[in-house]
Amino acid sequence: MSSVSNVSNSQSGNVFGSLRTWFSEARNTILFVIGFLLFWEVAVIVFRIPRYILPSLSSIIRQFIRNFDLIWEYTLVTGYETLVGFSIAVAIGVPLAMMTAFSRILRQTFYPFAVALEMVPKIAFAPLFVTWFGFGFIPKMIIVFLVCFFPILLNGILGFTSLSQEMVYFSRSTGASQLRMFWKIRLPAALPELFVGLKGAAVNATVGATISEWIGGDAGLGYYIQIATGQLRMDLAFAIIFMLTALGLLLFYVVQMVEKRMIPWHVSQRVSVFGKSEV
């Protein structure tokens, strides 16, 4: 049972010890990232790549610092669109997934409809939304909502319907009501699949916000990238892309933290990103 003792060790380790464990696991990753960034910086200089094709890392950082006020202002704009669109997608998608999973009528009517809609490229609607709702917050929020809603809905339905027949038999043999069965078994059993959808949605969210700002916006990081590239200021464009990446990572990280809190027991949580199993 060496696997079992390993688990308790990592839980009881002190802060310094766990930090050291983390570093020893992450060392190769960190070294690689540093190496990559160094290569970028050197290669741009050595191969004399023009600034309007690929700027050096240092110039990107300079631009980031110089334009930070505007970048930050637009980060809040894009962040707000992302967060509101994502939240509404969660608030509607999760209950709707539940209802669809448990209602035969909805499974026969709404579900195939939703699957078909999922195939529609949501971004294609962006110009229409601009016509309908103008250049402001609403059309972006709707696009973010759409690109988040379907992964949440479809994975949610999958989660709520994925109970094994044996588990259903066991539940029935206890005489438990549908409601009790939902709270004790169906809901927790659905969470892993649901979080797959939530993480997919988190990835989509900033993409949706950025593209919708390209199509018709007067503020936000996507809008700002267009301004920067229009002026061939690639170093500024990259600085904004870094910020966008950070924004996307933040949302993803928050969802992952919630996931770790809610389903620490699930198999996806037992393997670290470095491929080394913790158990």
Partner 1 sequence: MVAATLVLAATPHSTWEATLKELIQINGVTKTYRSKAGPIHALGPLDLTICEGEFVSIVGPSGCGKSTLLLLVGGLLDYEAGQIFINGNLVNQPQTDIGIVFQTPVLVDWRDVLGNVLLQIEMRGLRREDYLEKAKNLLRSVGLAEFEKRYPFELSGGMQQRAAFCRALIHNPPLVLMDEPLGALDAITREQLRVDLEQLWLLTKKTVLFVTHSIPESVQLSDRVVVFTPRPGQIAEVIEIDLPRPRTIAVRESAAFQQYVHQLTSIFMNFGILRDTVSSPQSNAVVGE
Q: Which is nearer to partner 1, 136 or 188 (CB)?
A: 188
Q: Which is nearer to partner 1, 123 or 167 (CB)?
A: 167
Q: Which is nearer to partner 1, 27 or 180 (CB)?
A: 180
Give the nearest distance from C-beta 261 to partner 1 in angstroms.
12
Give the nearest distance from C-beta 173 to partner 1 in angstroms.
5
Give the nearest distance from C-beta 175 to partner 1 in angstroms.
4
Helix, strand or coil for residue 47? Answer: coil
Q: Which is nearer to partner 1, 69 or 166 (CB)?
A: 166
Q: Nearest to residue 225, comparing CAs of 245, 239, 204?
A: 239
Alpha-carbon span 132 to 173, nearest angstrom: 55
Give the nearest distance from C-beta 185 to partner 1 in angstroms.
7
What are the helix and strand counts (H, E) for the chain? 12, 0
- The rounded radius of gyration (Å) of the Cα atoms in the chain is 23
- Please name the residue that has the structure tokens 């198999």: 267
Query: CA separation (Å) from 261 to 105, 258, 269?
Result: 34, 5, 10
Contact 182, 163 (CB under 8 A): no
Q: Which is nearer to partner 1, 3 or 124 (CB)?
A: 3
Give the nearest distance from C-beta 254 to partner 1 in angstroms.
22
Give the nearest distance from C-beta 191 to partner 1 in angstroms.
8
Helix, strand or coil for residue 103? Answer: coil
The site for partner 1 (CB under 8 A) is made up of 3-4, 7, 164, 166-167, 169-176, 180-181, 184-185, 188-189, 263, 265-267, 270, 279
Q: Which is nearer to partner 1, 26 or 163 (CB)?
A: 163
Alpha-carbon span 195 to 46, nearest angstrom: 45
Q: Which residues contact 10 (CB under 8 A, 6 or more apart)?
A: 18, 21, 278
Alpha-carbon span 7 to 203, nearest angstrom: 30
